[in-house]
């Protein structure tokens, strides 16, 4: 009994450390992937120009303010930011707190995934899902885009995991992918026809389709409701605090991600509680 508890605690501790390391890599993805996509779009234009190699590995990480290369000891997840007090070791420019937040979030969600699903196929799938969703949400916050290169492979991966009904029966996963896309597409079209504005982006349709592929169509109402409520409360509060115009765009992707994570970890429990309350 005691050995089992110790083994479980060690597994969660190792998972947390792996989550921190993955979170550090996700910061690279969040910062560099939009730049890589922009370069690719320029290269596909009428007058492509020669540019130095730029990907997730090259060039080495450096301070965006002074260009000083970041040393290994300055790149330890979470600890380096705390030790440097959120400042560059060279020029003392401020380092965004988003970096340790992403690392800590990846660690916490990784631990939650392994604790909830155990060291199983579902646990491995949940890790891949939450890591990719973190990157997608952060990129959407920064650039108002949900890159296909993240979302579409994740959609197909969800269907593959559900070949063995890891999170939902395959039939429910396929219907979830189709319904997830169509629901937001219909809302988008109705909103555009009635207001003349685009309230959602095509990336949002694909993201909900992705979540439907992973979790099945039964979780879509919870994801949409939770995402909408979070968008109204958090997005509305942000607009008020920042005193921005109400027409200022607020990305919906991060709120869909929040709804998806809620459905991943608590969806069946919420569904059973709701049915019990209805049938009581």
Cis amide prior to 59 (ω within 30 degrees)? yes
Are 29 and 134 a contacting pair, CB within 8 Å? Answer: no
Secondary structure (3-state) at 94: strand
pLDDT of residue 2: 53
Closest CA to 257 of 130, 97, 166: 130
Q: How many CB atoms lie within 10 A of CB 80?
A: 20
Closest CA to 255 of 278, 232, 279, 280: 232
Are 139 and 38 a contacting pair, CB within 8 Å? Answer: no
How many residues does this entry show for the chain? 280
DSSP 73: G
H or E stretch including 277? helix 253-279
pLDDT of residue 77: 92
Are 28 and 54 a contacting pair, CB within 8 Å? Answer: no
pLDDT in tens, the chain (280 residues): 555 666 788 999 999 999 999 999 999 999 999 999 998 888 776 555 556 888 999 888 888 888 888 888 888 999 999 998 899 888 889 989 999 999 999 999 999 999 999 999 999 999 999 999 999 999 999 999 999 999 999 999 999 999 999 999 999 999 999 999 999 999 999 988 988 888 788 999 999 999 999 999 999 999 999 999 998 888 777 767 766 666 667 899 999 999 999 999 999 899 888 777 877 6
Are 97 and 2 a contacting pair, CB within 8 Å? Answer: no
pLDDT of residue 7: 76
pLDDT of residue 50: 59
Domain boundaries of the chain, sorted by first residue:
1-37+49-119, 122-280
Place of tokens 């330890």: 76
Q: How far apart are CA 72 and CA 237, in angstroms?
A: 39
Which residues pair with residue 117 across a beta bridge? none
- CA 141 to chain CA centroid, Å, is 10
pLDDT of residue 42: 80
Q: How far apart are CA 157 and CA 239, in angstroms?
A: 36
Q: How many CB atoms lie within 10 A of CB 91?
A: 11
């Amino acid at each position: 009994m005691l050995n089992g508890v110790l083994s479980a605690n060690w597994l969660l501790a190792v998972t947390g450390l792996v989550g921190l390391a993955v979170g550090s890599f996700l910061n690279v993805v969040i910062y560099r992937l939009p730049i890589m996509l922009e370069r690719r779009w320029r290269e596909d234009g009428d007058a492509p120009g020669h540019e130095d190699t730029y990907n997730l590995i090259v060039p080495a990480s450096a301070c965006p303010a002074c260009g000083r290369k970041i040393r290994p000891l300055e790149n330890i997840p979470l600890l380096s930011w705390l030790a440097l007090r959120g400042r560059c070791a060279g020029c003392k420019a401020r380092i965004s707190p988003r970096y340790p937040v992403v690392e800590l979030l990846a660690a916490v969600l990784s631990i939650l995934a392994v604790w909830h699903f155990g060291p199983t196929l579902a646990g491995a799938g949940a890790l891949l899902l939450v890591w990719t969703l973190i990157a997608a949400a952060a990129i959407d916050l920064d650039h108002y885009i949900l890159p296909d290169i993240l979302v579409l492979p994740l959609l197909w991966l969800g269907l593959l995991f559900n070949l063995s009904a890891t999170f939902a029966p395959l039939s429910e996963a396929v219907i979830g992918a189709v319904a997830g896309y169509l629901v937001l597409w219909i809302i988008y079209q109705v909103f555009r026809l009635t207001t003349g504005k685009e309230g959602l982006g095509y990336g949002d349709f694909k993201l909900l389709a992705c979540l439907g592929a992973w979790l099945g169509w039964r979780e879509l109402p919870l994801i949409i409701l939770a995402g909408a409520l979070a968008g109204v409360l958090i997005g509305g509060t942000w607009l008020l605090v920042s005193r921005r115009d109400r027409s200022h765009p607020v990305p919906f992707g991060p709120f869909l991600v929040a709804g998806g994570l809620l459905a991943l970890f608590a969806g069946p429990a919420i569904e059973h509680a709701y049915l019990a309350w209805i049938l009581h």
